[in-house]
Amino acid sequence: MSPNIAKKQRFIGKTAIITGAGSGIGRATAIQLAREGANVALFDLVNERNFELEQKLNKLRKDCALALDVDTSDSERMEEAVRQTVDRFGGLDIVFANAGINGAVGPIEELSLSDWEHTMSVNLTGTFLTLKYSIPHLKKKGKGSIIITSSINGNSRFASFGWSPYSTTKAGQVAFAKMAALELAKFKIRVNVICPGAISTNIDESTEFNEEIGAIVIPIEFPEGAQPLADGPGKPDNVAELVSFLASDESIHITGAQIVIDGAESLLS
Ligand code: NAD
Mind listing the pLDDT tens digit for each residue in 97-139?
Answer: 999 999 999 999 999 999 999 999 999 999 999 999 999 999 9
Distance 72 CA to ligand 1 centre (A): 11
Mean pLDDT over each residue of the chain, to the nearest integer? 95
Which of the listed residues 96, 201, 243 should we mutate to test ligand 1's pocket, taking the one with most ligand atoms within 8 A of CB? 201
Question: Backbone dihedral region of 72: left (phi > 0), alpha (psi from -120 to 50 degrees) or beta?
Answer: alpha
Q: Which amino acid is at 154?
A: G
Q: Is the CB of 45 under 6 A from ligand 1?
A: yes
The rounded Å distance from CA 211 to ligand 1 centre is 23
Q: Which residues are catalytic?
A: 166
Ranges in the chain, pLDDT < 70: 1-7, 223, 225
> Which residues on neighbouring strands pair with residue 208, listed in sequence order?
104
pTM of the model: 0.96
| Phi-psi region at 183: left, alpha or beta (left = phi > 0; alpha = psi -120 to 50) | alpha
Sequence-separated contacts (24+) of 109-113 with Cβ below 8 Å: 110/210, 110/212, 111/164, 111/165, 111/210
How confident is the model at residue 27, as a pLDDT? 98
* φ and ψ of 73, to 5 deg: -90, 0
228: CA distance to ligand 1 center in Å? 24
Ligand 1 pocket check: which of 18, 25, 29, 79 to mutate, most ligand atoms within 8 Å of Cβ?
A: 25
Q: What is the pLDDT of residue 143?
A: 98
For ligand 1, say whether the CB of 71 is within 6 Å of any of its atoms.
yes
The alpha carbon of 19 and the centre of ligand 1 are apart by a number of angstroms equal to: 9
